[in-house]
Amino acid sequence: MRTLFLKGPFRSILQSPYFYPSLAVPVGVFLAVFLRAVDVLAPAGSLPALEFPAANVRTLFGGVAGAMITATAVLFWVRSALVQLAASQLSPRVLSLYMHDRFQQASTGFLLGVFTYLVIALLELPGEPNAVAPLLSTLLGAVLAIVALLSIIVAITTGVYATRLSHVLARLADETVAQVEEVFPEREAEQRTSEDIPPAPAEAVPVFARTHGWLQRAHSQELLDALPRGAEFWLEARVGLYLTEGAVVGRLLLPEDAASAESAGGDGEDVVASQGSPAVGGPDPASLLQDALQIETTRSLRRDLTFGIRELVDIGLSALAPGTKDTTAAFEVILQLGTVLREIMLRKLPPVVIRGEEGRTVYRTAELEHAEYVNLCFQQIRLYGSQYPSIANVLLNTFGMLQDQLRSTGLPEHAAPLRRQAALVLEGVKQAPLLEADRERVYRVARWYGFDASDADPLKQPASDPPQGVEEIAALSMGPGAS
């Protein structure tokens, strides 16, 4: 369920890992009450072969309910151990991925709903010694108890599979791509002409962060709504940056009449109110801007695109650490980063100058460009991966394929940062202590995509180079086993 159209506390509640499991409680209560009402309406003794003594059903349901508490605790313990293992081997930041696992939430909610149903059904059992238990309620309780046992086994098995590297990387990449599609909804069909941001004038007043944490929301429309008529705001932070309390997040320039009204008293306050700022005693525009900037103590992939990229990069760096050197994991990380970066490079970045009604303007001065996204994805992995021929081949292959796609879609200007990173990879390969044969294998992949292996300067690289053979290049770029 997408909750992107919601904001404020409602969005936080819907995205909480406890929201969906909690829905199972009223469902369990409703089923127990509804079936009990049906049993009351049904004629007694209609199915004598399926009549069960209430005392036996009470013993059964009580034992199952108690066993479910133990089984649920064991399930949580197993999942916690698996998550801790994945966090230590991959990255501590993947914990958020498991917290929002829909299957985990569904299995927990089902067990909670079954437990609730059994408790209500126990309370509704007749207390007479020779009483007969309600038929439908008893049958459903027995079926739910068996299914709950199976669901525990499935949940543990699924948890084991969920810790696989390929599964974790695919989920991170898919959620990051979904965030890219939200932040950059438009495909770019031609070169973008961006409007230059003027510098903030000296008379612009600073707007400070109210608290410390990660900036997780800075919607342009909300910032425009917080401005009085004719005001301009230079936002000097972006989503994903950490802010300390009292840090300058932007600068506000009020129109001359509003500024003079604020400095004056009495009638001047009415002028400010008529221009869209609050009335006397209400918050000033700077306070409204602070309200529009959502700062949280933790980062969330569902609000912070760069956090998803950061998680993938961290897994790649962990794989290339001196004590690990898991080049296969790094190889898979690079492929997933290429998938994410492709979506970014083919899309139009949001405007950095946003103009609203009545002269309101927001300048987003800290937003990333395409080149900065390329660096964010591959800068650190390239530093550690250039010493491995297999990783260098995969990096060059990823840069080359992205470059070819950009050229084919009419966006060759976006390929410049890719060529720059490719040149840095080749420079790192030249300085790495490698055998000449290993270095030549990397150069063949570089020449296939037009990267000059003899010069690290991307401005001096030729536009194309005769191919060496598709099969050969594919074999060189297929991963660690190829080297």
- Beta bridge partners, 251, equal 206, 234
* pLDDT tens figures, 321-335: 877 777 888 899 999
Superfamily grouping for domain 205-296: Pyrimidine nucleoside phosphorylase-like, C-terminal domain (3.90.1170.30)
The pairing of beta strand 242-243 with beta strand 213-217: antiparallel
Q: pLDDT tens digits for 349-362? A: 888 999 999 889 99
CA 279, CA 347: separation in Å to the nearest integer? 42
Q: State the Cα–Cα distance between residues 52 and 62, nearest whole angstrom.
A: 15
Residue 376 has pLDDT above 90, yes or no: yes
Residue keyed to tokens 């342009």: 220
**pLDDT score, position 457:** 43
pLDDT tens digit string along 47-102? 555 678 888 888 988 888 888 888 878 877 777 777 776 666 666 666 666 666 77
What pLDDT is stored for residue 477 in this prediction?
A: 53
Question: Between residues 76 and 25, which one has the greater pLDDT?
Answer: 25
What pLDDT does residue 272 have? 33
Asked if residue 433 has pLDDT above 80, the reply is yes
pLDDT at 423: 92
Q: What is the pLDDT of residue 41?
A: 75
Mean pLDDT of 176-193: 76
Most confident among 90-94, 145-149, 166-170 (mean pLDDT): 145-149
pLDDT at 222 over 70: yes
Using the Cα atoms of residue 391, residue 393, residue 399 and residue 401 in order, give the sign of their dihedral.
negative
HSE-up (13 A, CA, CB side) for residue 7 = 10
Write the pLDDT tens digit of every residue in 262-319: 544 444 333 333 333 444 444 688 999 999 999 998 888 878 889 999 989 988 888 8
**pLDDT tens for residues 380-429?**
999 888 889 999 999 999 999 999 999 888 888 889 999 999 999 999 99
* % residues pLDDT > 90 (the chain): 35
C-alpha separations of 388 from 320, 392, 399 in Å: 10, 6, 17
- Determine contact, residues 205/252, Cβ cutoff 8 Å: yes
Higher pLDDT, 372 or 478: 372
pLDDT band at 16 (very low <50, low <70, confident <90, very high): low
Reported pTM = 0.71
Q: Both tokens of residue 272?
A: 């400010």
